[in-house]
Copies of this chain bind each other. A is one copy, B any other.
Amino acid sequence: MTAKRTPFDELDRKIVAMLIENARASFAEIGTVVGLSATAVKRRVDRLRKDGVITGFRASVRPAALGWRTEAYIEVYCDSAAPPRRLAEVARKYPEIAAAMTVTGAADALLHVRATDVGHFEEVLERIRNEPFVRKTISYMVLSHLLPESPEAGASESAPGAYADGLPGDAAIML
């Protein structure tokens, strides 16, 4: 069966789903659930990593528990002359920027920013606004999360989503 080299089959789906829920699950444990030997599971995991499906294994941390208590989204409007791509350099420079992307709509880009408090956020915002190609910004402070503060927050998180076995809310999985 599967002589045609299936890129991503049902077994892979289950394995990925399990690793999203618990990245420290042993190969043997995964194997008993999906009906494979530990060795076979390892081979598949290695392949999934090599193919870029699984990009890493990381601990999920509650930002607030570590002092990151302020969160905001910033719409960035750039000079018509400067490409929003230049924001990538800025985003890499500031660790407070958890995500940066170009978007449709009036703004050129959207930044997801984390800071320890409002004072810290103001300082970060000031630095961004001082970038030469930034014309204007609009900030939206996050007041409270309506979902189990998942990965979106920046950390990957628990939250037993509900898309088959995998969960977009958790790890953006289709499965």
Interface residues of A (CB under 8 A from B): 8, 16, 19-24, 51-63, 65-68, 73, 84-85, 87-88, 91-92, 95-105, 107, 109-110, 112, 114, 116, 138-147, 150-158, 161-163, 166-175
Contacts and interface: CB of A to CB of B under 8 A. Distances in A.
Contacts of A20: 58-59, 61, 155
Given A53-B65, A57-B58, A151-B151, 14 more contacts: A19-B58, A20-B59, A23-B59, A54-B61, A56-B60, A66-B174, A99-B153, A100-B146, A101-B145, A102-B144, A114-B172, A153-B172, A156-B156, A156-B157
Copies in the complex: 2
Contact of A169 (B22, B24, B55, B98): B98
Nearest to A65: B53
Q: Which of A20, A91, A97, A99 lies at the interface centre, i.e. has the most chain B CB atoms within 10 A of its CB?
A: A99
B54 A169 contact: no
